[in-house]
Chains A and B, each alone.
Chain A
Amino acid sequence: EVQLVESGGGLVQPGESLRLSCAASGFTFTNYALTWVRQAPGKGLEWVSVISGSLDYTNYADSVKGRFTISRDRSKNTLYLQMNSLGAEDTAVYFCAKSLYNWNDAAAFDVWGRGTMVTVSS
């Protein structure tokens, strides 16, 4: 079964850091781009970042550029999102999603995790 399971969410104070993980199973990890998408309370989906399947090219939303870093560990079939300088605007459920393609410049995600909640508050 193709599956993505996120972890690492929680409550942090403004300015702190957090690293999210997404464990993948059931598909060839390096054949597909992987993406982080978030949804703030009462808001719509927001695309956050993507990493390509084989060459680790990365792209970021302007709202997180310079603060967030996406990466993957092929030996562990795990995707990461390192989030620094967190602010209240980063409070959201964070989903990892598998792309239909190996490359970044497409936005079609056929497998999603259940999400992990990140709350930034003092």
Chain B
Amino acid sequence: QSVLTQPPSVSAAPGQKVTISCSGGSSNIGNNYVSWYQRLPGTAPKLLIYENNKRPSGIPDRFSGSKSGTSATLGVTGLQTGDEADYYCGTWDSNLSAGVFGGGTKLTVL
């Protein structure tokens, strides 16, 4: 049971937009920055978003992040087949004094 809650799967057609939610509480998302990761099959996780809405260099602006209260959202526009992957949110939990991840969301581009 993950501390952060994500939908198990989302899907959309190529070119469309999808959002992935990440729900937590005041000890984690509510008071700490959220980051998002993409895990393509057989590869290491890749940082997509940090500090709620910032993109590392090299990450296209098709990927966006937002946070409101104790929830965060990853948005992906202009979906491509290459975006099919597992996506994870992560943050620090001040009560646990530990990092926490969501359970992951599998994105399917139909």
Contact = CB atoms under 8 A, between A and B. Distances in A.
B88 A45 contact: yes
Contacts of A60: 98
Interface of B: 2, 32-33, 35, 37, 39, 44-47, 50-51, 56, 86, 88, 90-92, 94, 96-104
Given A44-B103, A50-B99, A105 B44 contact: no
Given A44-B104, A45-B101, A112-B44, A107 B96 contact: no
A105 B92 contact: yes
* Interface of chain B, main secondary structure: strand
Interface residues of A, number: 25
Contacts of B39: 45
30 contacts: A44-B2, A44-B86, A44-B88, A44-B104, A45-B37, A45-B45, A45-B90, A45-B104, A47-B100, A59-B97, A59-B98, A60-B98, A61-B99, A62-B98, A95-B44, A95-B45, A97-B45, A105-B97, A106-B32, A106-B92, A107-B32, A107-B35, A107-B91, A107-B92, A108-B33, A108-B47, A108-B90, A112-B46, A113-B44, A115-B44
Contact of B50 (A46, A62, A97, A100): A100
Interface string A20-45: 00000000000000010100000011
A44 B102 contact: yes
Nearest to B86: A44
Contacts of B91: 107
Interface in A87-118: 95, 97, 100, 104-110, 112-115
Contacts of B32: 105-107
A108 B101 contact: no
B98 A47 contact: yes
Q: Can you list the 3 inter-chain pairs with the closest CB atoms, starting with the nearest? A: A47-B99, A112-B44, A44-B104
Given A45-B90, A47-B90, A115-B44, A108 B98 contact: no
